[in-house]
Structure 1
Amino acid sequence: MSKPGSRVNRAELADVFGVSLPTIDSWVRDGCPFAEKGAKGREWAFETANVHRWLVDRAVADVAAGYEGEIGGITAEEAKRRKAVADAVVAEIGADEALDQVVNRHEAAADVASFCISLRTGLSNACAKFAGRAAAMTGAPEIQALAEKEINQAFDSARDDLAKRWGDAQGA
């Protein structure tokens, strides 16, 4: 991931802000600042700090426009106050990210996906074990005990994989 104020290309900018390339193209059409215009054989270049500022300014303008119809417009001072509040929120989020006090949405999604894959694998293995062993068993309690053991083992394995991922992330 690039640092604030970094110079990046379209793909890196999309990654930094968690959006698609068509969204970046739409931003450029809407006036997003760029350092270098792309051309044949030359990539677009963006300054992430400038793009971030543009997005904040645009969000403030959108919010102000939303209130315009309700109260007949807002004063320049109120707009500046709201922008200052938005800037403070953005700065607070940035500080929380720097201190690892917030969870990255993409990392959390990857952890959940990994947990689900591990659980699915464990449950599939449990089904295979049921099929092989249950035919030789004589009573329902014996089959239930096997099922509970195998399902618990699948959940324990998935939980251990998730704990390992989280432990690795906290140790880094």
Structure 2
Amino acid sequence: MSGQLVNQAQLAALFGVQPITIRAWVRKGCPEEVKGGGGKRAAYNTAAVIRWREEQAALAATGDASALDEAELKKRKLAAEMGLAELELSVRRGEYVEIEQVGALVADEYATVRANFTAMPGDIAPDLEGCTAAEIQELMMAKVTEILHGLSADDLYAPEAEASEGAGGSTEAATEAESD
């Protein structure tokens, strides 16, 4: 196995931690090349320790709590509790909405758009008689734009400038109001 053989103080310096941290790692299974005790100093293979630390990090990242110490578990629990409390507060403030509510609104909007597109041929057919291709294209574009605008202009979520366009966010109503 490659790596250098170092003592506890050197290993601590290598990882930027205190020697007490190395002793805690040993209690958790950090490999010792030479066991310490009885007046004999422990020795560590740097490659083996690095590999062990990578394994511990992988276990911690995948949620294996056995790889974490009690202090780390307490920090994670506190962070999770704080995150949950912040989320609940944001919901109460109205900063977030439940996905079911949004899903229902989007489904309604799409159903309206689908119905409007399905009705479009009957809505514009009487206006197309005797029109040139350019006029037909203009009429169709206006109708498609009106239908699509319904997705972005509603009374619940539209910015105030858009919501004031006309009743129900209709471009037709807004256009009629402008021409009066």
TM-score by length of 1: 0.49
TM-score by length of 2: 0.47
Structure possessing the higher relative contact order (Cα contacts under 8 Å, 6 or more residues apart): 1
Bigger Rg, which one: 2
